């Protein structure tokens, strides 16, 4: 393979051609076809020509390249993507090296490169004119050079890639992709104005430049453009009818607006305010379809201008320039989806009130199913005399889940040992509980860390307590974290105990014995509360109380006369006691239990929560603007199939919370 470069010099009318450079290359060891070798030789010529032009600073000189291979010339004259990989790579390199060159075909006998390929003796080389000056016609003017037409040989493999037949269908330009990419109208208008300037620059429109800042006129043109595009997409038939002078049906929403097309081509409201002394935009507002993306951007801009005002204020701001079909409905819907407004409304999720647990509906002995909670702290004094020291004490409140009976114990500290001692005193007088219910540790707001640790389901203290309960055959159940309303039974008891305690002692400090005595009296009062409203029957003087299930009567009732002198057999006395006890349970099931049938709140089920829903995690310690944003990762439905507890993931951690602590954000995935 070889390549030869000649330089043609014009000296007046005389044209001289002389040899400048040549290069030969041995064929590679890898066997190649003749067309591929000729293509490689042509590539050698292209590289050599570029080298000579760079060295002699002849970058702008006219260049002609010849090859005696018609196949090579066919490859070079077509796009590189048409050929297979070997030819494609070299043709692509050709086109980069010889962008301004003219390729032509020369017969092999007139190709001086063959002299180097075939070889010449020294005697032949000295007098070989073809080698030193090229073919004779090269010294003539380029217009008289011979031309040789390409003849395609059908028997030669051109290494062409298989053809792919494409069927193209013209589609309208997707103009709406741009508007869907922005959540701010101002940003949309600015980007649109810049795009319009760029298009004008490509069209060589006078005074069009990208260097100057955007003007008010540019933004106004962008605004009118999007209004017209939106109307053309949603009001295509209506615009055609108006241009033809046709009328709408009476039920059409545009009929009452008497619309017309203004001088800018915008569909506007006709109305009855032609002579009103207001601006033209307020008299003839642009009509915007409520389901369009532009309507959402306009409402969002109006809400920002009114500082997140309500529906009426936002609608008034809109009506100064636009008439969005649907009136208040689209504005109200947008405000309901606004995250900042949702934070301030604090509309928490509410599920249908669940079924009462079996522990509250089973006619079993008192305190067989018990709920426990802590109250306090309460300040105590070490003794009555002078020089006493004050310290904190706590109240352990045990509530019967069935009869609402209350048992109160004073705890000197909040250690596991202190609670175990109180629990031992409770079970010694009330019997061992089958089930024990309590809040999780996170519900003890304001309590010390040790108290929360005591009631945390994963702490060492709770394991110590659980081992004690297991030995007694008691099952300890925790409510979900952050859900104090799940333990409404003992929360109500805590409230009642505090009610009597604060009114009795006020700011006084009591000793441990005095507080124990006072709590026993408060316990008697609470166990004397009626479980059902008193009737108007003058003969019904006694109400069913928790004390009836403990001692057969209310603890605060005056003692009855002794019946020991009456001649009643032991069997009759035992039957009398059983009859009274059965009467208590009958009144409990027919009176008190029926009062629990009605639902006092949370009347409707909700099904808005699903995996992936975006929510706000409420926290009473912070303002709504600082509530954490979270996403639901798991649902925990109850026995009725309704979800009241979910697992959520915040930016820092994963939590399990009741839905009452969540604010559901009405945001679709496309709006996120």
Task: Give tens-digit pLDDT for 444-483.
Answer: 433 445 545 555 555 666 666 666 666 777 787 877 776 7
For residue 669, is pLDDT > 50? no
Answer whether residue 224 is part of any domain: yes
How many structural domains compose the chain?
4
Q: Domain check: are 321 and 378 in the same one?
A: no
Domain end (from 504, 522, 540): 522
Q: Are 656 and 481 in contact (CB under 8 A)?
A: yes
Range of the domain at 328: 176-337
Distance CA 415, CA 458 (A): 16
Answer whether residue 310 is part of any domain: yes
Could you write out the DSSP letters of every residue in 380-440? Answer: EES-SSTT--EEEEEEEEEEETTT--EEEEEESSSSHHHHHHHHHHHHHHH---SEEEE--
Mean pLDDT (whole number) for 577-597: 60
Cα dihedral 584, 585, 587, 593 sign:
positive
For residue 561, is pLDDT > 60? no
Q: Domain check: are 94 and 224 in the same one?
A: no
For residue 564, is pLDDT > 80? no
Task: Give tens-digit pLDDT for 185-207.
Answer: 999 999 998 888 888 888 877 76
Q: Looking at mean pLDDT, say which of 300-309, 336-345, 444-453 comes out highest.
A: 300-309
Q: Are 413 and 420 in contact (CB under 8 A)?
A: no
Q: Provide the CA 388 distance to its chain's centre, in angstroms.
A: 60
Q: Domain check: are 366 and 330 in the same one?
A: no
Buried b (16+ CB within 10 A) or exposed e, 368-402: bbbbbbbbbbbebbeeeeeeeeeeebbbbbbbbbb
Residue that the structure tokens 């060159």 belong to:
101
Question: What are the Cα distances from residue 646, in Å, to 304, 353, 456, 665?
Answer: 34, 16, 19, 15
Answer whether residue 607 is part of any domain: no
Distance CA 182, CA 261 (A): 28
Distance CA 206, CA 414 (A): 84
φ/ψ of 140, rounded to 5, equals -85, 175
Q: Are 377 and 394 in contact (CB under 8 A)?
A: yes
Task: Give tens-digit pLDDT for 363-402.
Answer: 888 898 999 888 878 888 887 767 678 888 889 999 998 8
Q: How many CA atoms lie within 13 A of 407 on its CB side?
A: 24
Helix (H, G, I), strand (E, B) or coil at 322: strand
Answer whether residue 351 is part of any domain: no
406 burial level (CB within 10 Å; 0-12, 13-18, 19+): buried
Closest C-alpha among 24, 22, 45, 42 to residue 34: 42
Answer whether residue 112 is part of any domain: yes
Task: Give tens-digit pLDDT for 144-169.
Answer: 787 777 666 545 677 777 766 666 66
* DSSP bridge partners of 102: 64
Q: Are 353 and 603 in contact (CB under 8 A)?
A: yes
Q: How many CA atoms lie within 13 A of 417 on its CB side?
A: 2
Tokens describing residue 177: 């992709």
Distance CA 370, CA 359 (A): 9
Q: In 431-533, which residue ranges form alpha helices assigned H by DSSP?
A: 449-454, 460-471, 488-505, 512-526
Answer whether residue 196 is part of any domain: yes
Closest C-alpha among 351, 317, 353 to residue 335: 317
Q: Domain check: are 56 and 8 in the same one?
A: yes
Q: Provide the CA 249 distance to its chain's centre, in angstroms.
A: 43
For residue 581, is pLDDT > 60? no
User: Predicted confidence band at 408 (pLDDT cuts at 50, 70, 90)?
Assistant: very high
Higher pLDDT: 456 or 608? It is: 608
Q: Domain check: are 376 and 509 in the same one?
A: yes
User: What dihedral angle (degrees, nearest 10) is formed by the CA atoms of 46, 48, 49, 55?
Assistant: 140
Q: Domain check: are 244 and 198 in the same one?
A: yes
Q: Domain check: are 423 and 309 in the same one?
A: no
Beta strands 64-67; 102-105: pairing state: parallel
φ/ψ of 634, rounded to 5, equals -155, 145
Q: Looking at mean pLDDT, say which of 26-30, 126-130, 363-367 comes out highest.
A: 363-367
Question: What are the Cα distances from residue 408, in Å, to 297, 402, 405, 436, 662?
Answer: 61, 17, 10, 15, 34
Domain end (from 482, 506, 522): 522
Q: Domain check: are 82 and 195 in the same one?
A: no
Q: Domain check: are 395 and 514 in the same one?
A: yes
User: What dihedral angle (degrees, nearest 10) is formed by the CA atoms of 42, 46, 47, 53?
Assistant: 150
Could you write out the DSSP letters of every residue in 63-85? Answer: -EEEES-HHHHHHHTS-GGGB-H
Task: Give tens-digit pLDDT for 215-266.
Answer: 888 899 999 999 999 988 888 888 888 888 888 887 788 888 888 888 888 9
Q: Domain check: are 327 and 190 in the same one?
A: yes
Domain end (from 500, 522, 544): 522
Task: Give tens-digit pLDDT for 7-24.
Answer: 888 887 778 888 888 888
Task: Give tens-digit pLDDT for 503-529.
Answer: 878 777 888 888 888 888 888 888 888
Q: Looking at mean pLDDT, say which of 122-126, 174-178, 363-367, 474-478 comes out highest.
A: 363-367
Q: Domain check: are 503 and 388 in the same one?
A: yes
Mean pLDDT (whole number) for 64-84: 82
Mean pLDDT (whole number) for 91-114: 81
Distance CA 40, CA 47 (A): 11
Answer whether residue 666 is part of any domain: yes
> What is the chain's Cα-based Rg?
48
Is it true that the peptide bond before 377 is cis, omega within 30 degrees of 0? Answer: yes
For residue 123, is pLDDT > 70? yes
Q: In 81-161, which residue ranges form alpha helices assigned H by DSSP?
A: 85-97, 113-118, 122-126, 129-133
Q: Domain check: are 320 and 390 in the same one?
A: no
Answer whether residue 565 is part of any domain: no
End-to-end alpha carbon distance in the chain: 65
Which CATH number characterizes residue 76's domain? 3.30.420
């Amino acid at each position: 393979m070889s390549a030869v470069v000649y330089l043609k010099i014009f000296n007046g009318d005389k044209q001289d051609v002389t040899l400048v450079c040549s290069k030969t290359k041995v064929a590679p060891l890898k066997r190649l076809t003749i067309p591929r070798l000729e293509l490689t030789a042509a590539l050698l010529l292209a590289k050599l020509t570029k080298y000579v032009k760079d060295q002699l600073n002849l970058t702008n000189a006219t260049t002609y390249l010849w090859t005696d291979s018609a196949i090579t010339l066919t490859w070079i004259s077509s796009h590189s993507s048409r050929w297979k990989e070997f030819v494609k790579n070299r043709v692509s390199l050709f086109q980069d090296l010889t962008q301004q060159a003219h390729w032509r075909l020369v017969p092999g006998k007139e190709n001086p490169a063959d002299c180097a390929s075939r070889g010449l003796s020294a005697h032949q080389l000295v007098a070989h004119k073809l080698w030193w000056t090229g073919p004779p016609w090269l010294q003539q003017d380029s217009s008289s050079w011979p031309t040789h037409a390409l003849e395609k040989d059908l028997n030669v493999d051109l290494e062409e890639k298989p053809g792919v037949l494409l069927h193209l269908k013209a589609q309208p330009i997707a103009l709406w992709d741009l508007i869907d990419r922005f959540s701010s109208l101002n940003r949309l208008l600015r980007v649109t104005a810049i795009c319009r300037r760029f298009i004008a620059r490509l069209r060589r429109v006078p005074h069009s430049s990208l260097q100057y800042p955007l003007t008010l006129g540019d933004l106004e043109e962008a605004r009118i453009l999007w209004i017209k595009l939106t109307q053309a997409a949603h009001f295509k038939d209506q615009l055609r009818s108006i241009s033809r002078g046709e009328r709408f049906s009476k039920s059409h929403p545009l009929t009452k607006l008497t619309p017309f097309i203004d001088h800018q081509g915008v569909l506007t409201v006709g109305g009855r305010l032609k002579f009103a002394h207001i601006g033209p935009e307020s008299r003839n507002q642009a009509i915007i379809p409520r389901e369009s993306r532009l309507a959402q951007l306009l409402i969002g801009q109006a809400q920002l201008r009114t500082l997140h005002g309500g529906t009426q204020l936002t609608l008034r701001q809109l009506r100064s320039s636009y008439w969005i079909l649907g009136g208040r409905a689209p504005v109200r819907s947008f405000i309901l989806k606004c995250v900042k407004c949702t934070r301030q409304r604090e509309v928490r999720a509410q599920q249908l009130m669940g079924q009462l647990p079996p522990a509250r509906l089973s006619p079993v002995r008192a305190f067989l199913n018990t709920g426990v909670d802590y109250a306090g702290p309460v300040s105590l004094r070490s003794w009555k005399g002078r020089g006493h020291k004050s310290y904190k004490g706590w109240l352990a409140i045990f509530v019967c889940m069935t009869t609402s009976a209350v048992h109160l114990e004073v705890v000197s500290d909040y250690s596991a040992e202190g609670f175990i001692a109180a629990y031992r005193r409770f079970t010694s007088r009330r019997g061992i509980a089958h089930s024990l219910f309590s809040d999780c540790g996170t519900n003890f707001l304001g309590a010390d860390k040790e108290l929360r640790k005591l009631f945390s389901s994963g702490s060492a203290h709770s394991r110590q307590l659980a081992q004690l309960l297991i030995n007694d055959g008691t099952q300890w159940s925790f409510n979900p974290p952050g859900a104090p309303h799940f333990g409404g039974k003992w929360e109500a008891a805590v409230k009642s105990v505090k009610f009597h305690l604060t009114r009795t002692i006020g700011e006084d400090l009591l000793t441990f014995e005095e507080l124990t005595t006072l709590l026993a009296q408060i316990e008697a009062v609470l166990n004397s509360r009626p479980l059902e409203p008193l009737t108007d029957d003058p003969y019904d003087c006694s109400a069913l109380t928790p004390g009836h299930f403990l001692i057969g009567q209310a603890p605060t009732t005056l003692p009855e006369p002794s019946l020991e002198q009456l001649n009643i057999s032991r069997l009759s006395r035992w039957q009398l006691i059983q009859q009274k006890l059965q009467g208590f349970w009958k009144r409990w099931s027919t009176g008190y239990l029926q009062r629990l049938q009605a639902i006092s709140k949370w009347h409707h089920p909700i099904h808005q929560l699903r995996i992936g829903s975006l929510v706000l995690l409420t926290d009473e310690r912070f303002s709504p603007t600082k509530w954490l944003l979270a996403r639901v990762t798991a649902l925990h439905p109850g026995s009725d199939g309704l979800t009241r507890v979910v697992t959520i993931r915040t930016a820092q951690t994963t939590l399990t919370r009741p839905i009452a602590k969540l604010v559901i954000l009405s945001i679709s995935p496309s709006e996120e």
